[in-house]
Chain A
C-alpha cells in the first residue's frame, strides 16, 4: 500500500538522517586542515564553476553556504566562535568592512595583499577579488543618450523619466553607492538626492537582475545598476539585447563609482592554510579570467587580460571618484538615511 510504503521509506530516511547527524561533530576536529567551508554572498550560479576548478586543481573539498551578504553576516554573528566557516566571499566592501568591525576577520599575509593591483583596504583584513562599476543602464529604443544627465546628482531634475526610473534601495551595491555619495557630497546632499529621485516615483526592485529584466519588458527606461548586469544581457543568451545600453557619467562622478567584491579569512575558521590557498586561487590568473568571462566583472590583477566587450580597466577606473574602500563601512548611516526616507 502506498501509505505504508511511504511511511516505511520515510522512517528509514529519518533514521538515516539521525545517523548522519553526528558526523560533522566527530569528523572535523578543530585545528585540522580538512574540508573548507565558504560563506558566499555571491550567488551559487556564479561561484560554483570557480569552486569546481579549485577542487580539481587542489583536491581540497569546499562546502559552500550561499546567501545575501547581510544574511551571512547575521548568521556569522549568531554562530560566533562556533562557526565552521573559514572564508567569507562577499558581494560588497560594505559587508567586509562590517565583518571587520565585528572582529570576524583575521589579518592576511603580505604575499596575498600584494597580489591585487589596487583597491586593497588599509586594514589588510580582506582582499579585493573583482571590480565592478556603477552605471546608468538605459533603453536605447526609448531614450536617446544625449538626453541623459552628465552627473548622477542631476537625476532628480529629469522630469521626463517620471515613473520610468528603476533602482534597488535595498540592495547592497546600491547601499555602497549611497555611502560613497555621503562621503563625497555630504549627508544633506545625499538626503536631498534620495528625496528628489523618490519624487519622480521610481520603481524599486529587490535586486539588479529583475530590474534589468523589467527594462527588457518595457517597465522602465533608465536604471541605476552595475555594469556587468548590462553585459550579461548584451553578451549573453537573453533576447532583447538591443533594449539595453550603458551610460557613463562625466569623469570623477560618484555615479561611475568602482566597487569591489572581496574575500577574507574568518577568525573562527580552523583551516587557515587551505583557506589561504582558496584566496590565492581566487587571485590567480586562471580564476580571474574565469570571473571576467563568466561574471563579466573586472579582474583585480594588474596584468590580467580584460575581455574585449569591457571598457579598458584604466579608462573605467579613471571615470570614478577615488576612495578607500575601508571607509565604506558606515553602512549604518546609509541604512538610517534610507529608512528616514521610507525606502527601507
Chain B
C-alpha cells in the first residue's frame, strides 16, 4: 500500500490542534440545540415533533434540493466541459461567466427575479411585456440554481484540468469507444468533484433562508427562520433545526459512502500532459448561446435590476456610509477566509491521507457546522461566548471565528479534490530524504494544493461577504456590512438605497473572482 509510510508516522499536534478547534467550535452549537430542544414538557414535545407540518416541510426541502441539484448539474457540467476540453473561442470569458454568479448574493438574485415580472416589473417597464412573477417552488428553484451552480462548475473544472489524458488515451487504445471512455474513465474521475460541489449546493439549499423567504416556499430553514425571528419560542425552532441536521447527516453519510475507496492520483512518473481539445466547428454558436444565456440570467439580470433601482432613485446613500460598510465587510470576511483555508488544510489532509473512521468522522463534523442553520449556529455562539468567554462577545474576533467555522466546508472540497490528485510518493520521498513531516508536506505536497487552496479561500470570502444571519447576531455593535445594509433597505422596499450596497457587493466579489481566476490562468489559457 502506497500510503503505509505516512500512516506509520506519528501525527503531529500541528494536524490535531486545528481539528480540536473545529470539533469544539462545531459541536458546542449542536449541544446548545439539544439543550434547547428538551427545554419543554414531554407532552408538548410530542406535539411539536409529530406535527403534520413537519412532514410537509420535509417533502418541500427534499424536493427543492433534488431539483436544484438536477438543474445545476445540467448547467455546470456542459459549461465545465466547454471551457476545459473544447476549442471554444473566448473560453476565458465564459469561465468568468461561470464563476461570476458567486458574486451575486442569493437574495439579490431572488429580488431580481421578483422584480422582473408583474405589471410594474422591470420587464414591463423596459419592454412593456408582462410576465407573472416567479414565486413558490419554481421561484426558489430558479433563484437557488442560478446562484449555486458555480460551486459545481468550479469543482468540475478543477477536476477536468487535473485529469491525466493518458488514462483516456489508454482506454481508447484498448478499444473503448468515446462513450465508454466517458462512462468508465472520465466520469468516475470526476466523481469526487461532483460530490464535493453537489454537497455544497445541497447544503446551501438546506441552509438558505433569504431566497425561500422571498419566494415564500416553506422549507425547514424558512420555518426555523420564522420561529427564531417571528416568535419568542426557541424550542420548536431547535427541533426543526435538529430535524434539518438529521437530514444533513443522512446526506453526509451518503456522500461518504459514495467516495469510499477512491484512488485517483497519478501513479506514474513525469508530469501529466494537457488534454487534446475537442473541435467544436459549427457547434461554436449554440455553445456560446448556452453560455451567454446562462451568464445573462445569472449575472446580467441581477446587475440590470440593481442598475434599474439606482436609476429611478430619489433618496441616495452617502459615500461615507458606503465606504464604512465596505470596510466592515472586508475586515470580517478576509481574515475569516484565510482562517478557514488554514483549518481546512490539516482536516482534508488527514481525511484523504489517513482515512480511518476517526479522521473521516472529524471531516464530516466540519460539514455539520456548515449544515447547522446559520441562525441557530449564531445564537449558539452567543450562548457559548457569554458563558465561557464573555470578553469575546460582540467582538470582531468572534464574528471571524463564526464565519470560518461555519463556512469551513466550502474550503474543504477544493483542497480535498486537489489532495486526491496529489501523489503521496513525492512526500514519502522527501521524508525518506530526512525531511520532517511538516517540511516534507510543505515542499512536496503543498505546492500541488495551491490551486485548490486559492479556490477554498475565494469560496469562504465570497460567502462571508454575503452572509446575513450570523452577521446580524454576532457582529460588534454598530458594525454594518454591505450585506446587512442592502438587506435592511430592500426589506423596506427602499430599493434605490439598497442598490449602491448591492452593486458594491457585486463589484468587490467580482474583483476577487477576477484576481483568483488570474492566479489560475496558466492552465486555462
Could you list which residues of chain A lie within 8 angstroms of chain B, going by C-beta atoms?
Answer: 1-3, 6-7, 9-11, 13-14, 16-18, 20-22, 24-25, 37, 43-46, 63-68, 70-71, 73-75, 78-80, 82, 84, 98, 170-172, 175, 203-207, 209-210, 212-214, 216-219, 232-233, 237-240, 243, 331-332, 335, 339, 342, 344
The 7 A-B residue pairs whose C-beta atoms are closest, nearest first, are A217-B118, A63-B478, A240-B120, A10-B338, A170-B230, A63-B477, A14-B335
Once the chains bind, are A335 and B232 in contact (CB under 8 Å)?
yes
B228: chain A residues at CB < 8 Å are 70-71, 74
Contact: B383 with A78, CB < 8 Å?
A: yes
Q: How far is the CA of A1 from the CA of B515 in the complex (A)?
A: 10
User: B residues within 8 A CB of A73?
Assistant: 232
Q: Which residues of the partner chain A approach B393 to less than 8 Å between Cβ atoms? A: 79, 82
User: What residues on A are CB-neighbors of B394 within 8 Å?
Assistant: 24, 84
B397: contacting residue among A18, A66, A70, CB under 8 A: A18
Q: With A6-B338, A71-B472, A209-B493 in contact, do A44 and B232 touch (Cβ < 8 Å)?
A: no
B379 at the interface (CB under 8 A from A): yes
In the complex, what residues of B have CB within 8 A of residue A217's CB?
114, 117-121, 133
Q: Which positions 192-239 of chain B face chain A at CB distance < 8 Å?
A: 213-214, 216, 226-234, 236
With beta carbons under 8 angstroms apart, the residue of A17, A46, A67, A344 that contacts B335 is A17
Q: Are A21 and B473 in contact (CB under 8 A)?
A: no
Q: Would you call A71 and B492 a contact (CB within 8 A)? A: no
* Contact residue among A20, A170, A237 (Cβ-Cβ distance under 8 Å from B226): A170
Complex interface: stretch among B96-104, B358-366, B384-392: B384-392
Query: Is B95 an interface position by the 8 A CB rule?
Result: no
Q: Does B396 lie within 8 Å of A218, measured CB to CB?
A: no
Number of A-B contacts (CB under 8 A): 185
Interface residues of B in 490-520 (CB under 8 A from A): 491-494, 496-497, 515-516, 518-519
Most A C-beta atoms less than 10 A away, residue of B233, B386, B472, B492:
B492
- A216 to B488 CA separation, bound complex (whole angstroms): 20
B125 proximal to A (CB < 8 A): yes
Cβ contact within 8 Å between B229 and A70: yes
Q: Separation in Å of the B515 CB from the closest CB of chain A?
A: 5
Which residue among B231, B315, B476 has the maximum number of chain A CB atoms within 10 Å of its CB?
B231
Whether A239 contacts B391 by the Cβ 8 Å rule is no
Which residues of chain B are within 8 angstroms of A335 by Cβ–Cβ distance? 231-233
- Chain B contacts of A331 at CB under 8 A? 231-232
CB < 8 Å: which of B53, B118, B476, B519 contacts A342?
B53
Are B485 and A44 in contact, with the CB atoms below 8 A? yes
B390 touches A82 (CB 8 A): yes
Chain A residues, CB < 8 A from B51 = 342
Does B312 sit within 8 A of A, measured CB to CB?
yes
- A238 neighbours in B (Cβ, 8 Å): 120, 493
Contact A22 B53 (CB under 8 A): no
User: Interface code B124-156, partner A: CB below 8 Å = 1, 0 otherwise?
Assistant: 010000001101000000000000000000000
Contact A2 B516 (CB under 8 A): yes
Q: Do A80 and B120 have beta carbons less than 8 Å apart?
A: no
CB distance A243 to B120 under 8 Å?
A: yes
Known: A10-B338, A13-B335, A70-B228. A239 touches B125 (CB 8 A): yes
CB distance from A275 to the nearest CB of B (A): 14
The answer on a CB contact under 8 Å between B491 and A209 is yes
Given contacts A212-B493, A335-B231, contact A71 B214 (CB under 8 A): no
Interface contacts beyond A43-B488, A214-B135: sample of 15 additional A-B pairs, CB < 8 Å, sorted by A? A6-B338, A18-B397, A24-B476, A64-B477, A66-B484, A68-B229, A78-B386, A82-B393, A214-B133, A216-B118, A232-B493, A237-B312, A342-B51, A342-B53, A344-B226
CB contact between B119 and one of A17, A210, A218 (< 8 Å): that residue? A218
The reply to whether A45 and B231 contact each other, CB–CB distance below 8 Å, is: no
Return A32 CB to nearest CB of chain B, in Å: 16
Interface residues of B (CB under 8 A from A): 51-53, 114, 117-121, 125, 132-133, 135, 213-214, 216, 226-234, 236, 312-315, 330-332, 334-335, 337-339, 379, 382-383, 386, 390-397, 400, 450, 453-454, 457, 472-473, 476-478, 480, 484-485, 488-489, 491-494, 496-497, 515-516, 518-519
User: Which one of B118, B229, B396, B489 lies within 8 Å of A45 (CB-CB)?
Assistant: B489
CB distance A64 to B478 under 8 Å?
A: yes
Contact partner of B477 among A78, A84, A213, A219, CB < 8 A?
A: A84
**Inter-subunit contact B496/A237 (CB<8 Å):** yes
Q: With A13-B335, A14-B400, A75-B382 as given contacts, are A43 and B492 in contact (CB-CB < 8 Å)?
A: yes
Chain B residue numbers with a CB within 8 Å of A219 are 118, 133, 135
Look across to chain B and name the residue whose beta carbon is closest to the beta carbon of A101: B232
**Chain A hits for B492, CB < 8 A:** 43, 45-46, 209, 232
Are A37 and B232 in contact, CB atoms less than 8 angstroms apart? no
A21 to B213, CA, bound (A): 34
Task: Select one of A17, A21, A172 contacting B331, CB under 8 A.
Answer: A17
Q: Are A13 and B450 in contact (CB under 8 A)?
A: no
- Choose among A203, A204, A213 the residue that contacts B114 (Cβ–Cβ < 8 A): A213
Determine whether the beta carbon of B396 is less than 8 Å from that of A20.
yes
Q: Known contacts A2-B515, A10-B334; decide if A206 and B226 are in contact (CB<8 Å).
A: yes
Tell me which residues across on chain A come within 8 A of B477, comparing CB atoms: 24, 37, 63-65, 84
Q: Contact between B226 and A3 (Cβ–Cβ < 8 Å)?
A: no
Q: Which residues of B contact A22 (CB under 8 A)?
A: 391
Q: Considering only CB atoms, which chain A residue lies closest to B48 in the complex?
A: A339
B338 CB → nearest A CB, Å = 4
- Measured CB to CB, the nearest residue on chain B to A64 is B478
Contacts A21-B395, A68-B229 given; does A6 touch B491 at CB 8 Å: no
A210 to B107, CA, bound (A): 13
Closest A residue to B399 using CB positions:
A17
Closest to B488 in A: A44
* B312 contacts across to A, CB distance below 8 A: 237, 239
Question: Across the interface, which residues of A come within 8 angstroms of B516, CB to CB?
Answer: 2
- Shortest Cβ distance from A256 into chain B, in angstroms? 24
Query: Roughly how many angstroms separate A162 CA and B315 CA in the complex, as a whole number?
Result: 38
Q: How far is the CB of B378 from chain A (nearest CB, A)?
A: 9
Assess the A13–B334 pair: CB atoms within 8 A: yes
**Looking across the interface, which residue of chain B has its beta carbon closest to that of A16?**
B331
Pick from A2, A204, A218: contact of B216, CB under 8 Å: A204
Is the pair B493, A213 in contact by a Cβ cutoff of 8 Å? yes
Instruction: Say how far B156's CB is from chain A's closest CB, in angstroms.
Output: 22
On whether the beta carbons of A70 and B231 are closer than 8 Å, the reply is: yes
Q: What's the Cα separation between A332 and B233 when bound, in Å?
A: 9
B residues in contact with A98, CB < 8 Å = 232
If A67-B472, A98-B232, A213-B493 touch, does A240 touch B397 (CB 8 Å cutoff)? no
- Give A78 to B381 CA distance when docked, in angstroms: 10
Q: What is the bound-complex CA distance between A6 and B226, given in angstroms?
A: 38
